[in-house]
């Protein structure tokens, strides 16, 4: 996951599972449709250019089907619907659109985040579409077709006087809630060092055991800002209606970091997926999917195969 090291993935998934359980009970209050029927899902026709890019010798796990692994970590990216068994969200919708483009049926396979690398290399599924960030280390074993920017959200209380945080100087002296050991923490520590070197106040970083404690700290004024994966905070803001965005932060700061469809290294499928994604971008389907899940800020201008990824730290 973008911004979340593997060693913390289990706790993140557990946290988001709890969040999802809570969200299902309040689905009627949200601006997100978490129903299993998904009447707003967009379908597209077969894309002959993308189909032609599939290697002649590539064998899908199930003939005529695009088998995709997804980790239901939480809305709006991927979560269990109100029936507690159907996986819905932005990533499943992207998977459906790509499957349509390739002229294939879609089979979504829910998996635990830590299981996707082994399952993909062993041939259990054709691809993973589950907020996987491109890294140089992962590129040694997998191929990537990008479909979103990897962003962290920067949020404050709705009545906060903080209007915008775009660079280190905007954050000087503020109290930030961040997860220990995350990529967000690494970036904020760098921001703090830059501020001190420039004669500005450092950032104060605060750590809490869970999501609820973090949000309570922000609401009570013990902290000024919370920084977490952007999609997660978009959903929380819609749910609670008491926090607002004041900026976003690339997971690869100071460089861009992208999220990608992940396939087996050297399988040859990545180029076809990149063609399909670019055609979805060009015909407007891609933008409609992201708009539907309130993730327009994460849109990419084009899909790329195996672009530069986050370096090994």
Structural domains in the chain plus CATH codes: 48-149+257-305 (3.40.190.10), 152-250 (3.40.190.10)
pLDDT digits (tens, 9 = 90+) for 142-180: 999 999 999 999 999 999 999 999 999 999 999 999 999
Confidence at residue 198, expressed as pLDDT on a 0 to 100 scale = 98
Is residue 303 predicted with pLDDT exceeding 50? yes
pLDDT digits (tens, 9 = 90+) for 10-23: 333 333 443 443 33
pLDDT digits (tens, 9 = 90+) for 59-82: 999 999 999 999 999 999 999 999
Alpha helices by DSSP H, the chain: 9-25, 48-52, 90-101, 116-121, 136-139, 183-197, 211-219, 230-240, 269-282, 285-292
What sign results for the dihedral spanned by CA atoms 178, 180, 183, 186? positive
Is residue 5 predicted with pLDDT exceeding 90? no
Rounded CA-CA distance 162/224 in Å is: 9
Q: What whole-number percentage of the chain has pLDDT above 70?
A: 90
Burial of 111 (0-12, 13-18, 19+ CB in 10 A): buried
Of 28-42, 106-120, 216-230, the one with minimum mean pLDDT is 28-42
Would you tell me how many other CB atoms lie within 10 Å of the CB of residue 191?
Answer: 22
The pTM (predicted TM-score) of the whole model is 0.88
Q: Which two tokens stand for residue 232?
A: 């997660």
Confidence at residue 312, expressed as pLDDT on a 0 to 100 scale = 81
**Per-chain mean pLDDT for the chain:** 91
């Amino acid at each position: 996951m973008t911004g979340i090291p593997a060693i913390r993935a289990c706790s993140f998934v557990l946290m988001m599972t709890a969040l999802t359980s809570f969200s299902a009970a309040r689905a009627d209050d949200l601006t997100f449709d978490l129903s299993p029927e998904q009447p707003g899902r967009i379908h597209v026709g077969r894309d002959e250019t993308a189909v032609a890019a599939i290697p002649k010798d590539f064998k899908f796990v199930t003939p005529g089907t695009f088998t995709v692994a997804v980790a239901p970590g939480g809305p709006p990216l991927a979560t269990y619907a109100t029936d507690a068994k159907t996986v819905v969200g932005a990533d499943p919708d992207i998977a459906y659109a790509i499957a349509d483009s390739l002229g294939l049926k879609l089979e979504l396979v829910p998996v635990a985040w830590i299981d996707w690398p082994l399952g993909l290399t062993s041939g259990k599924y054709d691809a993973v579409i589950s907020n996987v960030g491109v890294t140089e280390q992962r590129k040694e074993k997998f191929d990537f077709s990008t479909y979103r920017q990897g962003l962290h959200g920067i949020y404050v209380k709705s009545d906060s006087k903080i209007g915008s945080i775009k660079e280190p100087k905007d954050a000087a002296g503020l109290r930030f809630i961040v997860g220990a050991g995350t990529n967000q923490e690494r970036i904020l520590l760098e921001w703090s060092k830059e501020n001190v070197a420039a004669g500005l106040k450092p950032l104060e970083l605060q750590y809490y055991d869970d999501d609820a404690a973090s949000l309570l700290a922000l609401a009570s004024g013990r902290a000024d800002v919370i920084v977490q994966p952007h999609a997660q905070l978009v959903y929380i803001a819609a749910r609670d209606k008491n926090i607002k965005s004041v900026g976003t932060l690339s997971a690869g700061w100071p460089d861009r970091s992208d999220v990608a469809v992940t396939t087996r290294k050297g399988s040859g499928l990545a180029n076809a997926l990149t063609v399909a994604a670019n055609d979805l971008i060009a015909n407007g389907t891609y933008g409609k999917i992201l708009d539907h899940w309130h993730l327009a800020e994460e849109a990419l201008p084009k899909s790329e195969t195996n672009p530069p990824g986050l370096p090994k730290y």
